[in-house]
Amino acid sequence: MKHTFRHFALALACSTVGLAPVYAQQKLKYPKQPAANEIYDAVEKPAVPLGGLEAYAQYLADKQQYPTAALQAGTQGTVNVTFVVEKTGSISNVAVAQPVAPELDAEAIRLIKGGPRWTPAQHRGGVVRQRVSVPITFQIPAGTEGAAAASTTPSTAAGPTTQVVTPDKPARPVGGTDAFFEWIQQNQKYPALARQRKIQGRVMMEFVIQKDGTLTDIKPLKRLGSGLDEEAIRLIKAAPKWEPATYKGQAMKQKMVLPVVFQL
């Protein structure tokens, strides 16, 4: 497990996940023989990921790490990544067609570069290079859009009231996000039952960062079972303190929703 905090939903249109690589199959006039280094957009037999589209979509879903900064900012959207499947099945020229947000663009590129090899395209009896486009969707789970919201409790004549505001400085782990991710990775204990059943994925955890930086109100929003939910709860409860969110120079509580990733 690399980064443990991020999320989430991917849109690669295939039969089980509803996602698929987008091939621009246009009516083009093909040469009689494929050119050695030409990159094709339309071919007789398109390139496909090793293992098939369903397995590729599952890879993207399992490996996506929703950037913390994007979660805190409530940023979501679909990043369309283009790349070239070489004759060897490797990929090159990975780029984002239309940038959405720097954090999401970078994570989408990381996913594509870290993916499996492909079976190269074929055209007119020869193996050719093909340009492929894959949409990767980042969507904050329903009901957690306010995950990065912080609250303050001012006093009035009628008593204390609570209002939700956007913090001037969001909460962050003491020592930085990378250090927190590293701590989660080093201290994770994969439940034996989940390992036996070969269950992996993300447990979406909600918690509140108090004014003193402690983590409370810890609960899973998306469960995996087989002991993974309990392990995610244990990790968050035992995690180091955070630097609390601040608003106008004063510490305040902040709700956070982040995934704990379990990977065999």
Same structural domain, 181 and 231: yes
Residues 134 and 177 in one domain: no
- Based on the domain organization, do 200 and 254 belong to the same domain? yes
| Model pLDDT, residue 33 | 63
Nearest-10 Cα torsion for 216, 5, 1, 48: 150
| Position 20 in a domain | no
pLDDT at 204: 85
Q: What is the pLDDT of residue 249?
A: 83
Does 100 lie in the same domain as 56? Answer: yes
Are both 183 and 225 inside the same structural domain? yes
In a domain, 69, yes or no: yes
Do 131 and 179 lie in one domain? The reply is no
Could you tell me the CATH number of the domain that includes residue 72? Answer: 3.30.2420
Please identify, among 138, 155, 189, the residue that sits at the C-terminal boundary of a domain.
Answer: 138
- Give me the CATH number covering residue 193: 3.30.2420.10
Q: Please say which residue of 138, 153, 188 terminates a domain.
A: 138
Residue type, 184: I
| 236-250 exposure pattern, b = at least 16 Cβ within 10 A, e = fewer | beebeebbbbbbeee
Q: Which two tokens stand for residue 27?
A: 């009516």
Specify the pLDDT at position 251: 87
Residue 71: inside a domain, yes or no?
Answer: yes
What is the four-CA torsion angle of 215, 216, 221, 224, rounded to 10 degrees? 70
162 is a domain residue: no
What confidence score (pLDDT) does residue 212 get? 92
* pLDDT for the residue numbered 29: 54
What confidence score (pLDDT) does residue 57 get?
Answer: 87
100 and 185 in a single domain? The answer is no
Among 138, 160, 192, residue at a domain's last position: 138
Q: Within a domain: residue 257?
A: yes
CA distance 104 to 76: 8
Is residue 155 domain-resident?
A: no
Q: Note whether residue 18 is domain-resident.
A: no
Tokens of 39: 């990159």
- pLDDT at position 34 is 64
Query: In this structure, are 92 and 179 located in the same domain?
Result: no
Rg of the chain taking only CA atoms, in angstroms: 22
Q: Tell me, what's the pLDDT at 227? A: 92
Q: Does one domain contain both 132 and 208?
A: no
pLDDT of residue 214: 92
Same domain, 194 and 111: no
What is residue 252's predicted lDDT score, i.e. its pLDDT?
87
pTM of the model: 0.51
Residue 207 lies in a domain: yes
Is the CB of residue 139 less than 8 Å from the CB of residue 74?
A: no
Please tell me whether residues 130 and 204 are part of one structural domain: no
**What is the domain range of residue 59?**
39-138
Asked if 93 and 182 sit in the same domain, the reply is no
The total number of structural domains in the chain stands at 2
Q: What is the pLDDT along the chain (264 residues), one digit of tens a residue?
A: 444 333 333 333 333 333 444 444 445 555 556 667 899 988 899 999 998 988 898 888 888 888 877 776 778 889 999 999 999 999 999 999 889 999 899 999 999 999 999 999 999 889 999 999 999 888 775 544 444 445 444 433 444 444 556 677 888 888 887 788 788 888 999 999 999 989 888 888 889 899 999 999 999 887 888 899 999 999 999 998 898 888 888 888 888 888 888 888
